[in-house]
Chains A and B, each alone.
Chain A
Amino acid sequence: MIEIIQTGPFNTVQDLGRTGFRNIGVTTSGAMDPLALKAGNSLLGNETGAAVVEVQTYPFKLRFAKQTAFAVTGADCGASLDGRMVQPWCALPIEAGQVLELGQPRVGTRAYICIAGGIDVASVMGSRSTSLRGAFGGSEGRFLSTGDVLKLGEVSTALNFPATGLAVIDPAFALTDFYPANEDGALVVRAIPAGEHALFGADAERFWMQTWKISTQSDRTGYRLMGEPIKPTTPVEMRSHGVVSGVVQVPPSGEPIIQMADANTAGGYPKIAGVIEADLWRLGQARIGSRLRFVRATHAQAAAVEKAVATFIDDVRSTSRMVCDALQAMK
């Protein structure tokens, strides 16, 4: 068990989301940075999609009720264990009663507390993710609050982590060959032109050329972007259709919205582009007030990045097990 000692609002239990129910209007939810969740779980020997705590407001503090192992991935938020610094992206064994504290992130926005066995809240419609809109899943369908106690899942074969920990290289560095560098401080996000791209005429080019700012009206549902408005050449009343996270819609104001993990399952605004699956985690770590630019990508490029990410996760899993087994054998 873990007990939440201190938390801000908006922190939730998440896994990889509730797949398969978009057709009845149920939002997928799930971690905003799925790569951090997968890397943390793979490092710990958990199922890749085990439930974790997603922290997006700080400080956050929890107490472990029993001996186990954990890793904090995603945003680097100067985590400490009983007051001693903890490396990010590092699996550590832990004793009962120890207290983990997360401070304001230095890089990124969302941190993931991954624990051996995963967070064992009830699975609702096949997922432990918190559905804030539907008010179900996670911890009673709501944000975590001080005093909440969360059960942990059974660990079938526990890995024996060294006391000094076992760290994985931050994927932002490990996968640097597969991700474009920032341009003038703006995050470069790869996207594919979507159904109504041509409808924007000359404004379509202005969508790709300019730098957009992530407005304060941005959360797990979506990011509202600020910039020079873009408008379709003729107004269009669309028939409602299914959407996925990463879709870039343009409401009548002309300032695009990127739908994120808690987005509606359907929409009717014209869509100019869709962010490629493998770049969504970087958006999940982008800060309010920061800037981004879209660059066109092809499906072939997107598929290549997706493969590289999958290989990285597999490597983390096999290396972690190998190292832990070797250390155990030396004891």
Chain B
Amino acid sequence: MSASVAKITQPVEALALGRNGARVSPIGSRAFLLEATGEFDLASQRRIWALSRAVELWSETLEIVPGMTNLLVVLKMTPEDPELLALRLLDAWEQAESIDLAGRTIEITVTYGGEHATDLAALCDRSGLSDREVVRIHYEGTYRVFALGSAPGFGYLHGLDPRIYMPRKTVPSLNMARGCVTIGGMQTGVAVLTGPNGWNSIGFAELQMFDPMSATPAVMAPGDTVRFVPASIEL
């Protein structure tokens, strides 16, 4: 066996560096994910927003993708030394001071229940709450857009009441409609595309969240506040 082949077959320890409430791990050769390991809360997200601003300015950064208390950094080229990069990210995390984004307030009119609320019954079973209570808890909440992702203009909303947390489905719905108001784990959001979807639908909202021809294609932005306004409740 030649030396180079031996090198490839040698087990490589997974790089996962952790320090001061954050850990960094690679996704492929050019992307690195920093995850805040603390609470799933606004305080963590504010530091992620601050970190995003700092890392965006690095010369080797191609793209930054803030997620839910995490940040994916995509580099222009594969770094020779991933550990160095991971340490720089952790340093930047430590220096990241909390910032708040002054967002807009967006009100979304929702039809709760009805034909699109395919998972409302399952949510009632899991939570032990009535459908009326689940719906009320959902529209009484005030939510913040933590990040956009998954599909064009889709906003991940934080602020869901733990009583109506609901894990993503093991088998996704094959053809969930655009506009379905959904719960995925500790998060909520409005489906922006019709298609396969692993989140749980409890209602429907008529709105256009994305326009590729616009100078600002996405309606929501991180930091925005979202409220759901019940137009009707069909139970």
Chain A residues within 8 Å of B, Cβ to Cβ = 19-27, 124-125, 131, 133-134, 136-137, 180, 190-195, 197-198, 237, 239-244, 246-247, 252-253, 264-268, 271, 274-278, 295-303, 306
Contacts and interface: CB of A to CB of B under 8 A. Distances in A.
Interface in B169-187: 170, 184-187
B192 interface: yes
A295 B68 CA distance: 31
Interface stretch (B92-100, B101-109, B145-153): B145-153
A239 B35 contact: yes
Contact of B149 (A237, A240, A301): A240
B28 A247 contact: yes
14 contacts: A20-B62, A20-B63, A131-B152, A193-B12, A241-B35, A241-B65, A253-B170, A266-B149, A274-B27, A274-B28, A276-B29, A277-B28, A299-B26, A306-B78
Interface in B39-81: 40, 62-72, 74, 77-81
A173 to B, nearest CB: 19
Given A22-B63, A25-B151, 10 more contacts: A23-B64, A24-B217, A125-B217, A134-B152, A192-B29, A197-B16, A239-B35, A242-B67, A247-B28, A271-B27
Interface stretch (B3-11, B135-143, B227-235): B3-11
Nearest to B62: A19
B112 interface: no
Contacts of A242: 31, 33, 65-67, 70-72, 74, 149
Nearest to B82: A299
B197 to A, nearest CB: 11
B99 to A, nearest CB: 16
B118 interface: no
B72 A193 contact: no
A288 B86 CA distance: 36
Given A241-B67, A306-B78, A264 B151 contact: yes
A240 B68 contact: yes
Given A134-B210, A247-B28, A302 B78 contact: yes
A302 B150 contact: no
B132 interface: no
Given A124-B213, A299-B82, A25 B14 contact: no
A194 B25 contact: yes
A303 B29 contact: yes
B156 interface: yes
B22 to A, nearest CB: 12
Contacts of A246: 27-28
Contacts of A299: 26, 29, 78-82
B67 A300 contact: no
A277 B149 contact: no
B167 interface: yes
A268 B184 contact: yes
Contact of A303 (B10, B33, B78, B212): B78
Contacts of B68: 239-241
Contacts of B193: 133-134
